[in-house]
Structure 1
Amino acid sequence: MKVLVINITKVVSVRLACVAGYWGPSCTKPCSTTCRESSCDKQDGRCQSCADGHWGSNCTNNCPTNCGGATCDKETGSCPCAEGYWGQNCEFGCGQCSEGSCDKHNGTCQCQTGWAPPRCTLCDQGYYGTSCSETCGHCVNGNTACHNVTGRCSGGCSAGWRDDTCKRACEDGYYGDQCNHSCGHCLNGNTACNKVTGFCHDGCGAGWKGDTCKIECSNGTHGKNCKQTCSNCKGSNCDRFNGTCFDGCIAGYANPDTGCVEKCMYM
């Protein structure tokens, strides 16, 4: 009898665990650098925990750049904002706050002078000062051209106004750009002219004419607004203020001191 002897060798396959930082069937795939300590699931490569600065199911999202701490919530990405920032993702910068930072949720704060509540943004054109409550003065380029903090008109004042904020009218007797012009010889004195144009509303005093009453009466005229003539004076030559005829009267008229207005009486 023949006996068949079969030698059966049992082959057992043993799969060893991957070393730290690798995953996959052959442990050849490196874990993502966004995983904490480069540690990931050995089967699918998912991070077991995110490294600082990253969040999400596979740590592929970056934390907001303005987080106050070292990192953000690993699941939601939310974080406390750093000083000077606010918003759900700390994406907004605080305005010009007077003390410290702004509210991390809505960005409100107490504002510096020249900035508008609630978030301390720049004053609208035409306003300045605390809470932007002051209106700009009569700046040369319009009432929107003043400094948001001081109200100063950088280009100077419109005609008729003075000082840094251009809110004070020219003193009586002056008018025009920077109030540098003196009023003319207005009928009621040299303080009675328009502060912008210099116009004398009631006309000119004796001996003067023109809108600003700065033009002397021409030869042959005299009096208020130069409306009276010297026609009875010899050569029409008279005093422009009171009409006195310097060279006497023409024939038929008398009293040169009063302008030769009296006709001679012949007997």
Structure 2
Amino acid sequence: MVKEPAQGAIWPCHIIYTLCMFELVCNTPGEVDERCKVDCACCKDGKCGQGKYFSSDECTLGCIDGYRGARCYKRCTHNCTKCERHSDVDNCIACNDGYYPGSARDCTSKCLPGCKTCTSGTTCTSCMEGFYDINNKCNRSCPFNCITCSSNNDCGSCKDGYYKGYQNDNINFPLLNDCTYKCRDNCLRCSSYDRCSLCKTGFYGPNCEKNCSTGCLSNSCDMHTGNCTCFPTFAGVTCDKCKTGQYGNLCDQQCSVGCKSNVCERKSGNCKDGCIVDTIIGDKC
């Protein structure tokens, strides 16, 4: 740890520079994140303690990505996702997608429009979704329904609602890998016509051919079982029954107070088990 100089003494320049790098005596670029001051939150693996420059809270294994300093309180600036820990200027090691360190090493230099990552303004290392041809600066667009692709007719993944393969899974049709074909009507995401992985809201079943119960909250249910969370007046694992004491298509009407056990037919409201006393008559008591 560095001790304060005696009264009237002046720190040598190399000491001041060192303290600057460790953010002890001067303001260096980077916003202080107050959350990092609690439980060593920005230290790698949460490890901190006494170190070379602080009696406590010094990060012993370094900083998590995006932070720097001896105690890792300061954010890397601009578009840095990782920067040198003990530098008094921006020295970015890694940048957000779409940027590269550049000559200033501050990640303010932009990649070409179709590049996801790059090492310079002319060299892409990966393409953004919807673009391909890394050798030509990712300047070519994928087919309309593709998320990623390697050529104009070979998609890596499709947008929701489309798949690559055979039309209707019929091998007598041409095999197309450009995400031309549509999933079934009620299927939001599929890998083939008969393999749905996500149903549209309100549907369930292998091919999303069944309707979720009216009683399902937000009209949403488990794709495989139809189970769901119920509105307050519904009951059952699939919410297809009325809660005791309710009836009607929407289970929004109350059974007669005269019904035995407070139970009545869902459609008619007639008491299932009769009336609570013999002196009360009528189907609905």
Report the TM-score when normalising by structure 2.
0.30
Relative to its length, the structure with more strand (as a share) is: 2
Relative to its length, the structure with more helix (as a share) is: 2
Report the TM-score when normalising by structure 1.
0.31
